[in-house]
Amino acid sequence: MSGFAAALFDMDGVVVDTEATVAAFWRSVARDEGFAISDEDMDRHVHGRSALHTLRHVFPDLPEHRHGEVYERMRVDNETLRYSGIPGASALLAALADGGVPLALVTGAQSWKADAVLGQLGLAGLFGVRVSAEDVAAGKPDPACYRLAAERLGVPIARCVVFEDAVSGVTSAVAAGATCVALAAPHRVDAVRAAGASAVVGDLSGVRFDAALGVLDLDGAVALPLSGARAARAVTP
Contact 192, 167 (CB under 8 A): yes
- CA dist 181 and 218 (Å) reads 9
- Radius of gyration for the alpha carbons in the chain, expressed in angstroms and rounded: 17
Amino acid at 17: D
- CA dist 88 and 84 (Å) reads 11
Which distant-in-sequence residues (6+ apart) come within 8 Å of 32 by Cβ?
Answer: none
Q: Please, what sign has the CA dihedral across residues 186, 192, 196, 200? A: negative
The number of helices, as runs of H, and strands, as runs of E, in the chain is 9, 10
> Which residues participate in catalysis according to the annotation?
10, 12
The 3-state DSSP class for residue 109 equals coil
Which distant-in-sequence residues (6+ apart) come within 8 Å of 105 by Cβ?
Answer: 8, 9, 10, 11, 15, 114, 118, 127, 129, 130, 131
H/E run at residue 144: helix 144-153
